[in-house]
Structure 1
Amino acid sequence: MSATAIVMLLVSIIIVWGGLIASIIFLRLRPEVEDLYENPDLVREDEERAAQPHPFRDT
């Protein structure tokens, strides 16, 4: 391998692994918080849809 290829390999490794490490650190410092309260209308629609029989195709 030439010196240029080795340098490009090292640069790409640093970019990929550095991005992974940076994203892990960012998510540990600022985790995503989900909404604690759900929309009651959406919950009701989901419950109504679950109570209906499953549609099937007669082919």
Structure 2
Amino acid sequence: MMMIVALLIVWGGMIASILALRARPERTDFPPGGEDDHREDDPIVQHDT
């Protein structure tokens, strides 16, 4: 009985998440911020230890 309950929870969650992603597949609004600070353009800081 516990295995059936666990399977229903897992498969039910998977089906619910698939349906939610089909309803809203991509986020259209993002929070403010997220400016590019070009960290990958700068070299790694070398410290003399």
Please report the TM-score for the alignment, with normalisation by the length of structure 1. Answer: 0.54
Deviations 1:8-39 (A, max 9, x none): 11111011111111111111111231558x85
Q: How many residues align?
A: 48
2:41 aligned residue: 51
Q: Which has the higher helix share?
A: 1
Give unpaired runs (5+ residues) of structure 2. Answer: none
Kindly report structure 1 stretches of 4+ aligned residues shifted beyond 4 Å: none
- For structure 1, the residue ranges without an aligned partner over 5 or more in a row are 1-6
Identity %: 46
- Answering whether residue 2 of structure 2 is matched by residue 11 of structure 1, we say no
CA RMSD of aligned residues (A): 2.9
CA distance in 2, matches of 1:34, 1:51: 29
Change (3 A) 1:35 1:56: farther
